[in-house]
Amino acid sequence: MDAAGDAITGAMMARAVEPSHGEAQAAGHGDCLNCGAALAGHYCAQCGQAAHLHRSFAAIGHDLAHGVLHFEGKLFTTLPELALRPGKLTRRYVHGERAKFISPFALFLFSAFLMYAIFSLTSHHGADAAAGPAMNAEARAELKKEQDKADARIRKIEAELAAPGLSGNRKEKLTERLADARDDRKGLSLASGLAESLTGEGVNDGIAKSVGKAVSAAAENPEFAYYKLKANAYKFSWALILISLPFLWLLFPFSRRFKMYDHAIYVTYSIAFMSLLFSLSMVLTAAHVTSGLVTLALLLFAAWHMYRQFKDAYSLSRAGALLRLPLLYGFACVSLSLFFTLIAMLG
């Protein structure tokens, strides 16, 4: 029920961002019930309210279903374009053809909440969370073992140096080995001290405390940390748009053809589609129909989708798109890395 509620909440939030525009209603007569202006069509020319308003109990269900699925056809018009012709959809929206499509931000909101709802239904992490203390103790024991080995190595080299009758060349080599061994031991001590400070009670200042908790949690239980990242990512998913914009601008620096608004529409539609694709992947995994071939097909489709949207959205030649494509993939990886680092610090 919680997951279904999240999906419906996302849809209704998306609907609030994108109110009913470009959708047919019965023509009204007389004055607008909202602002009092004379009606001359399906909508008020002053405030935009629909001329025909439902006032029956059944209308509540109609409004809910309409808000979630956009029965007037916008969902079924947008999704095929987004999947197969994403670049043309982006360009058409930027150039003003908007009434027939779901707006990028509305689709982004819906896809983010849908992804979280599916994840909530298909993930299981209770047993993993209980394994945290044991994994942490094992990691500490391993670190202590490495420290003991380093100490033994240092003592052995020091004993060899103390032996009488060493040649100058042999003494020089042993001195270098001793310096290296002591450097290694310092590194282990630093790692141990960092772990203690991050997991201890003495870290009380802002960023250090957040980073410490994130690193400590990930070290104790990587699988549970991965769950937390995915579970919290939807709350801050909007940050991925802001993180991606500067990198996309770098692909067309100082261009007069493309504005930051164009980049924002491109990024938002792209992230929305990848969220929907990831949701499909989770559903297939839960249904036990995934295999290496299916996973490969999804990855290849995602790579093709990025290329196709990039080429058509910016009206690039094939050579121009392929030239920038490695940078696009690289920037996408960097943006995701920065995003998950942010989530780890905030979560």
- Is 35 among the domain residues? yes
Give the helix/strand (H/E) hosting 187.
helix 168-199
Residues 318 and 268 in one domain: yes
With contact defined as beta carbons under 8 Å apart, do 266 and 257 qualify?
no
Residues 309 and 333 in one domain: yes
Residue 304: CB atoms within 10 A of its CB come to 10
Count of the separate structural domains present in the chain: 3
Please state, in angstroms and rounded to a whole number, the distance separating the CA atoms of residues 131 and 219: 12
pLDDT in tens, 229-240: 555 666 778 888
With contact defined as beta carbons under 8 Å apart, do 166 and 174 qualify?
yes
pLDDT in tens, 112-155: 888 888 877 776 544 444 444 544 566 667 767 878 888 898 88
Q: Which of 243, 310, 273 is nearest to 91 (CA)?
A: 310
CA dihedral sign of residues 255, 304, 114, 240 = negative
Residues 293 and 322 in one domain: yes
Question: Tokens standing for 343?
Answer: 């989530």
pLDDT at 206: 47
The pTM assigned to this predicted structure is 0.58
pLDDT in tens, 168-177: 888 888 888 8
- Is 222 among the domain residues? no
Residues 179 and 261 in one domain: no
Quick one: 122 exposed, middle or buried, by C-beta within 10 A (0-12, 13-18, 19+)?
Answer: middle
* Cβ contacts of 327 within 8 Å, gap of 6 or more: 250, 251
pLDDT at 300: 92
Q: Which residues pair with 31 in a beta bridge?
A: 38
Quick one: 266 exposed, middle or buried, by C-beta within 10 A (0-12, 13-18, 19+)?
Answer: buried
The gap between the terminal CA atoms of the chain, to the nearest Å, is 24
pLDDT in tens, 4-34: 555 555 555 555 555 554 444 444 457 887 8
Residues 182 and 250 in one domain: no
pLDDT at 137: 62
| Residue numbers of the domain that contains 35 | 24-71
Rg of the chain over CA atoms, in angstroms?
29
Q: State the pLDDT confidence band at 306, using cuts at 50, 70 and 90.
A: very high
Of 63-72, 218-227, 232-241, where does the model show the most confidence? Answer: 232-241
pLDDT at 76: 82
- Is 89 among the domain residues? yes
Q: What are phi and psi of 43, to 5 degrees?
A: -135, 155
Residues 196 and 317 in one domain: no
Question: Tokens standing for 169?
Answer: 């060349």
Q: Which residues pair with 43 in a beta bridge?
A: 50
Give the helix/strand (H/E) hosting 11.
helix 2-17
Residues 246 and 119 in one domain: yes
Distances (CA, A) of 94 to 2, 60, 273: 36, 33, 17
- Is 169 among the domain residues? yes
Residue 114: CB atoms within 10 A of its CB come to 22
Residues 64 and 82 in one domain: no
Q: What is the mean pLDDT of residues 268-288?
A: 89
